[in-house]
């Protein structure tokens, strides 16, 4: 095992005049004005195609309006919106004139938005709908730098374009040409899974370097016309990088989907070739297929097909040749099972991409085995999202790949992963001490993640330094691998392994309402049973115990889960247990459900 690795080859060069806006204009020059660049899901449910010429024209019109409004270089503009094409246009327009975008998660409360806007000194805020406009309006008097709130649904972009007629092309181009690659592009507030959100300052260089690196590392994803369905929140760096990656490709098309409730239907209509998501998205696809198969003959066939797909993928990874019998079974399962699951992603799907949280390797093997290779990546807001990637021609499942050419990773004596490269952030906004603490004396960024590096530079994540559980007996336990196994259960939504300073390891679980509704009738129980009622059922406990047993096979007895509890409610942003990017806030779960943990798991023992 290595302690340090730098991917061979020079870093993809970033020139001083390369900016986010320049990336968009390069695409227009390559593809032409009539080429399709974006597709937006309209409020009436239809999909509208937008050409490169129309998209870029609207970006310039909005940029003129921002200049006319008085947005100067370095001014901050808040975007409080769901994922929609107007967000993308505003993102490019703000970057074009050297202003700084401050995205706010569309689920944030008025108080959270106020904190972010005051910390970053927002001058103009743009919300997408009446609800989010009202949230901002309710704190307007408490935000001294905020001059105006605009609403997209009330024709804000058209109003900005109207204001911009007084700004000439020459004046606009002068502003655009003043922007340099090392200028600040955005302040992205971390989702706060380990504490109070901090403003991460990212430059144009960070985004350009990340985008160029992704295109260099994964050219196969965009060698044909790439269609990427974007449904993750654009307030998150991962989603913005998907947007830039697709637009910066030769002829990529971004589909903007503001509401994931219709995702299965929209995948068929948009026909993505690429689908990037977080692990929970792909877990839900797998669980839905399992539930649809049921428990009879079809259910047994699905289980056999899933096992065969995983074994097929593992053989591929090992370079082994399947036997004639295995090929015959694979063809049979492809016709009966795999083809149906592939069709759930639409008829054109070629690749899946997963990031944002740890993924169960078995799930990646499953999708690889049914014919949809899943690329994995690793990064943080501080690294402008993906810092490492698995490659199409070097997709070592169970790892998060290697850093991009010219970038470096290392692990310290405690196993913490540290990184260095052009996409590492500038610093935390107005937090010099925390910025200094985030870097080593020789300039490496401390990720807080635990990892190991194999002899070829592939990185395997083993946990979060702050998540390590130390039981009362002194046993160190990494909870993430066991949690990944528990959420495979089709009726489990989230799982948190606990036991810090306790006599043994336990688990806290919440139920998936959708999965529960499908599962209950298979147990001859009413699908109308509520989550709270189901949490008490012995049948539910028995089903979950199967996956607890599987998780326990991965660890020693001292690390195994001795007891678990099923909560009568879900983790949510409202109770503080989920971040806007749907990560579980472990410390908050222990705080909010502390009484249940003490009374039901540990009988009051501390």
The CATH number assigned to the domain holding 493 equals 3.30.300.30
Task: Give me the half-sphere count of Cα atoms (radius 13 Å) on the Cβ side of residue 120.
Answer: 34
Q: For the domain that residue 315 is a member of, what is the CATH number?
A: 3.40.50.12780
pLDDT surpassing 90 at residue 554: no
Count of domains in the chain? 3
Q: Do the beta carbons of residue 401 and residue 374 sit within 8 Å?
A: no
Q: What is the pLDDT of residue 141?
A: 96
3-state secondary structure of 388: strand
| 5 found inside a domain | no
3-state percent breakdown (helix, strand, coil) of the chain, nearest 5: 45, 20, 35
Q: Are residues 163 and 50 in the same domain?
A: yes
pLDDT surpassing 50 at residue 55: yes
Q: Are residues 311 and 258 in the same domain?
A: no
Domain end marker among 240, 273, 306: 273
Q: What is the pLDDT of residue 119?
A: 97
DSSP string covering 514-530:
HHHHHHGGGGT--TT--
Torsion of CA 140, 144, 145, 146, to 10 degrees: 10
Q: Are residues 399 and 485 in the same domain?
A: no
Q: What is the mean pLDDT of residues 216-228?
A: 91
CA distance 153 to 128: 6
CB atoms within 10 A of CB 335: 10
Q: What is the mean pLDDT of residues 420-436?
A: 96
Per-residue model confidence as pLDDT tens digits over 247-275:
999 899 999 999 988 998 999 999 999 99
Domain end marker among 439, 465, 491: 465
Q: Are residues 283 and 372 in the same domain?
A: yes
| 232 found inside a domain | yes
Q: Are residues 402 and 507 in the same domain?
A: no
Q: Are residues 461 and 472 in the same domain?
A: no
Task: Give me the half-sphere count of Cα atoms (radius 13 Å) on the Cβ side of residue 223.
Answer: 8
| 7 found inside a domain | no
Among 596, 541, 533, 531, residue whose Cα is nearest residue 569: 531
CA distance 538 to 61: 61
Q: pLDDT grade, residue 191 (50/70/90)?
A: low
Q: Are residues 373 and 491 in the same domain?
A: no
Q: Are residues 383 and 259 in the same domain?
A: no
Q: What is the mean pLDDT of residues 326-352?
A: 95
Q: The domain containing residue 380 runs over which residues?
A: 279-347+350-465
Q: Are residues 453 and 491 in the same domain?
A: no
Which of 33-47, 55-69, 590-604 has the least mean pLDDT?
A: 590-604
Per-residue model confidence as pLDDT tens digits over 118-148:
999 999 999 999 999 999 999 999 999 999 9
pLDDT surpassing 90 at residue 198: yes
CA distance 77 to 146: 9
Q: pLDDT grade, residue 357 (50/70/90)?
A: confident
| 188 found inside a domain | no
Q: What is the pLDDT of residue 606?
A: 44
The token pair at 173 is: 């181009």
DSSP string covering 563-583:
EEEE-SS---TTTTSB-TT--
Q: What is the mean pLDDT of residues 570-596?
A: 87
| 80 found inside a domain | yes
Q: Do the beta carbons of residue 452 and residue 416 sit within 8 Å?
A: no
Q: What is the pLDDT of residue 332?
A: 96
Among 288, 282, 290, 295, residue whose Cα is nearest residue 307: 290
| 218 found inside a domain | no
> Strand 4-6 to strand 36-41: parallel, antiparallel, or no bridges (unpaired)?
unpaired
Q: Are residues 417 and 560 in the same domain?
A: no
Q: What is the pLDDT of residue 1?
A: 78
Domain end marker among 251, 273, 295: 273
Strands (E), 222-362: 227-230, 253-256, 274-277, 351-354
Q: Are residues 31 and 139 in the same domain?
A: yes
Q: Are residues 250 and 293 in the same domain?
A: no
3-state secondary structure of 127: strand
pTM for this predicted structure? 0.87
CA distance 247 to 28: 9
Per-residue model confidence as pLDDT tens digits over 59-95:
999 999 999 999 999 999 999 999 999 999 999 999 9
Q: What is the mean pLDDT of residues 291-317?
A: 90
């Amino acid at each position: 095992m290595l302690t340090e690795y730098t991917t061979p080859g020079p870093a993809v060069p970033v020139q001083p005049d390369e900016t986010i806006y320049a990336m968009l204009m390069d695409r227009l020059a390559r593809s032409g004005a009539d080429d399709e660049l974006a597709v937006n899901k309209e409020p009436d449910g239809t999909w509208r195609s937008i050409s490169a010429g129309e998209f870029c024209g609207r970006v310039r019109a909005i940029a003129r309006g921002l200049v006319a409004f008085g947005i100067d270089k370095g001014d901050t503009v808040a975007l409080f919106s769901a994922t929609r094409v107007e967000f993308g246009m505003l993102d490019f327009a703000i970057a074009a004139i050297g202003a700084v975008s401050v995205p706010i998660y569309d689920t944030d409360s008025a108080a959270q938005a106020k904190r972010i806007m005051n910390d970053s000194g927002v001058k103009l805020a743009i919300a997408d709908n009446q609800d989010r406009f009202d949230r901002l309006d309710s704190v307007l008097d408490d935000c001294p730098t905020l001059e105006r709130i605009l609403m997209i649904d009330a024709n804000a972009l058209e109003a900005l374009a109207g204001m911009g007629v007084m700004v000439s092309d020459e004046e606009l181009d002068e502003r655009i040409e003043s922007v340099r690659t090392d200028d600040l592009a955005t302040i992205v507030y971390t989702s706060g899974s380990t504490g109070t959100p901090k403003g991460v300052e990212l430059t144009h260089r960070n985004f350009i370097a990340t985008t160029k690196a992704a295109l260099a590392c994964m050219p196969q994803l965009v060698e044909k016309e790439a269609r990427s369905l974007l449904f993750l929140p654009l307030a998150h760096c991962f989603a913005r990088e998907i947007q830039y990656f697709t637009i910066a490709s030769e002829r990529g098309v971004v589909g903007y989907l503001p509401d994931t409730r219709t995702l299965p239907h929209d995948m068929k209509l948009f026909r993505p070739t690429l689908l990037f998501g977080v692990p929970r998205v792909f877990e839900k696809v797998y669980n839905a297929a399992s539930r649809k198969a049921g428990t009879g003959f079809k259910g047994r066939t699905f289980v056999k097909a899933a096992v065969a797909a995983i074994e097929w993928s593992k053989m591929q990874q090992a370079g082994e040749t399947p036997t004639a019998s295995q090929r015959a079974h694979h063809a049979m399962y492809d016709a009966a099972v795999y083809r149906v699951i592939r069709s759930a992603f639409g008829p054109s799907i070629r690749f899946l991409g997963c990031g944002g949280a740890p993924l169960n390797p078995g799930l990646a093997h499953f999708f690889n085995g049914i014919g949809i290779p899943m690329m994995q990546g690793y990064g943080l807001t501080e690294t402008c999202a993906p810092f490492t990637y698995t490659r199409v021609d070097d997709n070592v499942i169970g790892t998060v790949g290697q850093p991009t050419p010219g970038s470096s990773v290392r692990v310290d004596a405690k196993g913490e992963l540290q990184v260095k490269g052009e996409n590492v952030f500038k610093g935390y906004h107005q937090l010099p001490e925390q910025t200094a603490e985030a870097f080593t004396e020789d300039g490496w960024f401390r990720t807080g993640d635990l990892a190991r590096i194999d002899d070829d530079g592939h990185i395997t994540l083993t946990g979060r330094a702050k998540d390590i559980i130390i039981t009362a007996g002194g046993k160190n336990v990494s909870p993430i691998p066991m949690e990944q196994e528990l959420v495979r259960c089709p009726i489990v939504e989230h799982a948190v392994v606990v036991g810090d300073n306790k006599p043994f390891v336990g688990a806290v679980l919440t139920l998936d309402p959708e999965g529960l509704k499908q599962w209950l009738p298979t147990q001859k129980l009413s699908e109308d049973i509520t989550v709270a009622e189901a949490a008490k059922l012995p049948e539910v406990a028995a089903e979950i115990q199967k996956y607890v047993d599987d998780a326990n096979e991965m660890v020693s007895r001292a690390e195994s889960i001795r007891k678990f509890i099923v909560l009568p409610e879900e983790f949510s942003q409202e109770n503080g247990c989920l971040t806007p990017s749907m990560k579980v806030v472990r410390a908050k779960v222990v705080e909010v459900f502390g009484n249940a943990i003490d009374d039901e798991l540990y009988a009051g023992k501390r």
